[in-house]
A = this chain, B = another copy of it.
Amino acid sequence: MKEKVKIGYIGLGRRGKSVLKNSYSQMSDVEIVMLCDLSQNRLEAGKQIVLENGGYEPALTTDYREVIHHPDIDAVVIMIGWSGRPQMAMESMKAGKYTAIEVGCADTIDECFDLIRTYEETKAPLMMLENCCYGRREMMVLRMVREGLFGELVHCTGGYHHYLNAEDLFKGIDTDEIPHYRIGHYERCNRENYPTHELGPISKVLNINRGNRMVRLSSFASKSVGLKHYAGETFGADSRHAKKEYKQGDIVNTIITCAGGETIQLTLDTTLPRAYYSRNFSVRGTKAMSSEEGHVVYFPEMGDGIRENETEMFAKYDHPLHAEYVSKGVKAGHGGMDWLVNRAFVESVKHGCNTPIDAYDTVAWMAIGPLSEQSIAMNGAPVEIPDFTNGKWENPAPALAGKYSLDVICEDPDVSVV
């Protein structure tokens, strides 16, 4: 087992900086060997974060290839915008590095196949840093499912219900700030562009790539009026932002059918006013139901009309990782799940094991974006989801154990294979 994990870190935008600050630079067994960004200001800010948290001074570069080919680096963390990640990840894997990428979709299906071919050639682990897989609610439900408390699973829902107009999409437009890269995607594409926060945890619950797989999807987009309306109200009806056409429909619904007969319903909902953030995570089985909207985990013996019992349920069914984590004091962003997912990556590197979210998971989730775009363009015609495992989902590799495992419920700190 490695004493120290040596990290090369690419991308110091808002998210990259935050994760560096709250996770990697706080880990005493992690050394940030090199930071990479195109902006000198961001590089300097990143260096200060590392130094303030007691790290060695990292090397700085604007060339990501320097990071990837750095002989001392064990693992590369890629925090750049949505596009370009697969190419960078493939170079990193070819250089033999453990590779982590922030959440998001591929631009094209070809990128997904390229990633999987690269993984199969190099065997360099690839992990999407899907923090919501380590969310407290999601992990409690995962534990209960693994313990059989939900019976046979039938249906899951998830959504990215997050109003982004002011927060992300138009932030920095018409000011000196750099605009968020996402707005360009909303101009060019009409698709489920951000499914993994919900699909990650759902995939784990449904054993996708571990005895089950996603077989086909259909996607449907509403008209696109939210961005234009917002731009008109904010910048004026004659502003270029209000006159622009945005391809992205305001609400996108996607239905995925799995090999086991389960269905998954996903919703993207980011450009219309909404009252509260929700990932609408719900799991339905023959013996139980969980619902984020109702803040409830339910067994039939509770009777009818039950809501808002999650606090009791956490007390009873918290995943051991969260129980430990909560008792020690939650660290980092988003209720601790940012820390946990990055810690899971570091632990895998330390132990020389595969990552709990592996290359097949990563690619299956990244593929939803381009596949949904195809379906929307065909008025919701069903689109087959490629089997990136090439049949291996039916006889998957042995489960990963250790306390960060998403396969089994395990309190053992060491990652291993069971």
Residues of A within 8 A of B (CB): 151-152, 154-155, 163, 216, 218, 220-223, 225-226, 229-230, 249-251, 253, 255, 257, 260-263, 265, 267, 269, 272-277, 284-289, 291, 293-294, 296, 298-300, 302, 304-307, 379-382
Q: How far is the CA of A112 from the CA of B291 in the complex (A)?
A: 37
Q: Which chain B positions have C-beta within 8 A of A265?
A: 253, 265, 267
Q: Which chain B positions have C-beta within 8 A of A381?
A: 381-382
Q: Which chain B positions have C-beta within 8 A of A257?
A: 220, 379-380
Determine whether the beta carbon of A287 is less than 8 Å from that of B273: yes
Determine whether the beta carbon of A289 is less than 8 Å from that of B275: yes
Determine whether the beta carbon of A262 is less than 8 Å from that of B151: no
Q: How far is the CA of A265 from the CA of B252 in the complex (A)?
A: 10
Determine whether the beta carbon of A223 is less than 8 Å from that of B154: yes
| Partner pick for A253 among B255, B269, B288, CB 8 A cutoff | B255
Minimal beta-carbon separation of A275 from chain B (angstroms): 4
Q: How far is the CA of A269 from the CA of B263 in the complex (A)?
A: 13
Determine whether the beta carbon of A275 is less than 8 Å from that of B293: no
Q: Which chain B positions have C-beta within 8 A of A286?
A: 225-226, 229-230, 272-273
Minimal beta-carbon separation of A241 from chain B (angstroms): 15
Determine whether the beta carbon of B152 is less than 8 Å from that of A225: yes
| Partner pick for A379 among B216, B274, B285, B291, CB 8 A cutoff | B216
For A253, A274, A307, the residue with the greatest tally of chain B CB atoms inside 10 Å of its CB is A274
Q: How far is the CA of A100 from the CA of B117 in the complex (A)?
A: 62
| Partner pick for A284 among B251, B263, B291, CB 8 A cutoff | B251
The closest CB in chain B to the CB of A257 belongs to: B220
Determine whether the beta carbon of A261 is less than 8 Å from that of B298: no
Q: Which chain B positions have C-beta within 8 A of A289?
A: 272-275
Return 29 A-B CB contacts under 8 Å, by A number.
A152-B229, A154-B222, A154-B225, A154-B251, A154-B272, A216-B379, A216-B380, A218-B218, A218-B380, A220-B263, A222-B263, A223-B261, A223-B262, A225-B286, A251-B263, A253-B265, A257-B379, A272-B285, A272-B286, A272-B289, A273-B298, A275-B289, A275-B298, A275-B304, A275-B306, A275-B307, A276-B307, A277-B304, A379-B382
Determine whether the beta carbon of A255 is less than 8 Å from that of B306: no
Minimal beta-carbon separation of A372 from chain B (angstroms): 13
Q: How far is the CA of A249 from the CA of B255 in the complex (A)?
A: 15
The closest CB in chain B to the CB of A216 belongs to: B379
Determine whether the beta carbon of B284 is less than 8 Å from that of A250: yes
Q: Which chain B positions have C-beta within 8 A of A277?
A: 304-305
Q: Which chain B positions have C-beta within 8 A of A253?
A: 255, 263, 265
